[in-house]
Amino acid sequence: MKNSVDVSIARPDTNRQASLVAVDCRVHELLLRQERQERTTLKLIASENFASSAVLEATGSIFTNKYAEGYPGARYYAGNEIVDELENVAVERLKALFGCEHANVQPYSGSPANQAVYRALLSPRDKVMGLPLPEGGHLTHGWAVNFSGTDYQRIPYRLHEKTQQIDYDRLRETAKRERPKLIWVGGTAYPRIFDYAAMAEIAAEVNSYLVADIAHISGLIVAGAHPNPVPHCDVVTSTSHKSIRGPRGGFILSRNEDRYQPLYHPMSKHNLAKRIDRAVFPQLQGGPHVNIIAALAVALHEAATPSFRTYGHQIVRNAKALAQALLERGYDLVTGGTDNHMLILDLRARPLSGKAYAERLAKAGIITNFNMVPGDRRHPALTSGIRLGTPAVTSMGMRETEMVQIADFIDSVCRQPDDQEVHASVRREVADFCTAFEVPGIPDP
């Protein structure tokens, strides 16, 4: 016998064409069901999108197999020449799109990216200012149960009671009193444009770092549909899977130099960019997900096209059209409308909780998430709000007229939330409505 190794065991995929259905029909069946669901429902979750087939192909590529601890040119594993090129492509594309000095594409997602910022800039117990979760901030901006709330002193800043927008005057007062070391600007449920210049002024007055978290809006920024925080901030973090329509992951943009600890400062061994890199690896992570870096590079290539600019502006036009149509149907919106891709329905005056409405809407094929609204009296697991977003339906090619139709679907369900027949008939209409559009990454049935 020439070869005593049983190749059928040694190679998981002897037949290179063996497909998912042949190997694991259970998971394959779940995938088909998820495809069918996404093909026939309205994805209005503000943080979700449809990545392109090219992005999905790179995500599912053999780059998933490679270990590449370290950074291009300084890896701890051999055979990374191609991966070095790949990571450099992703980094250069980010720097070009955002106009920043430094980019790190290794964070596993948005929360780990933010964690790296804490590691790079702060010591435990330092003061951190952020928008509280119920007012639209993210868990990682100093929420009590998160590491950012337990390991650091959290100093919340608030929305203006009337406008429900950031109260920059009060923010300045709080910052002057508390003298935080880091101020976050960004959120998960804030439907307005952030005034980065005003935040930068305040941060400079109190010698604080200013960090923008653009997880939701990075696609809008690249498209020119929302201002770019990069010129105003020390560091900018993002996810790569929301409006920018890449794979699930995160990235960090920064200046090279630390304005508070320049390299000649006795405390600083490394510049800001190097400290960010070291915080990601080796302080927090091991090997980067090379397949995700490949897919991010593809998404950034797509994001640099004129059609992505059109896409980003259409997201905002659609959100404004949906907001207008809902206002006309008697709904309250947090801040009274939107400047970006999301709107938050304020259901405090209605009989059911946000969770209950989200469940009823899902029965009718309208997929949303429930969300706290400013001044919410309900438990965070129930809430009085629903967050809606237009990135995914805009990826399907929908425009303003479709938003009016969507408002009608939502209204039908919310007016008779406990009528099963209404759920069923809207569900059929939604499915019909969706078949007129292509869903990126999902084959037509």
Contact residues: ligand PLP, CB under 6 A: 47, 109-111, 114, 138, 140, 186-188, 213, 215-216, 239
Instruction: Give CA–CA dist 94/113, Å, rounded.
Output: 15
Q: State in angstroms the smallest separation of the CB of 402 from ligand PLP.
A: 25
Q: Of 90 and 407, which CB lies nearer to ligand PLP in the complex structure?
A: 90
Q: State in angstroms the smallest separation of the CB of 188 from ligand PLP.
A: 4
Q: Which residue is nearest to ligand PLP (CB)?
A: 110
Q: 48, 69, 257, 332: which is the annotated catalytic residue? A: 69
Q: 38, 87, 135, 213: which is the annotated catalytic residue? A: 213
Lookup: tokens for 299: 């998404």
Annotated binding site: 133, 137-139
Lookup: tokens for 53: 């087939």
Q: Which long-range contacts (CB under 8 A, 24 or more apart) does 320-327 make?
A: 321/400, 321/403, 321/404, 322/388, 322/390, 322/403, 322/406, 322/407, 325/403, 325/404, 325/406, 325/407, 325/408, 326/407, 326/410, 326/411
Query: Is 363 marked active-site?
Result: no
Query: Is 67 marked active-site?
Result: yes
Bridge partners for 386 per DSSP: 345, 370
Q: State in angstroms the smallest separation of the CB of 129 from ligand PLP.
A: 15
Q: Of 188 and 368, which CB lies nearer to ligand PLP in the complex structure?
A: 188
Query: Is 239 marked active-site?
Result: yes
Query: Is 438 marked active-site?
Result: no
Query: Is 188 marked active-site?
Result: no
What contacts 352, CB < 8 A, 6 or more positions away?
Answer: 360, 417
> Which amino acid is located at 354 in the chain?
G
Query: Is 302 marked active-site?
Result: no
**Extended beta strands in 342-424, E state:** 342-346, 366-367, 369-371, 385-389
What contacts 418, CB < 8 A, 6 or more positions away?
Answer: 360
Bridge partners for 127 per DSSP: 153
Q: Of 104 and 324, which CB lies nearer to ligand PLP in the complex structure?
A: 104
Q: 67, 108, 168, 260: which is the annotated catalytic residue? A: 67
Q: State in angstroms the smallest separation of the CB of 246 from ligand PLP.
A: 12
Annotated binding site for (6S)-5,6,7,8-tetrahydrofolate: 133, 137-139
Q: 248, 317, 348, 378: which is the annotated catalytic residue? A: 248
Catalytic residues: 67, 69, 213, 239, 242, 248
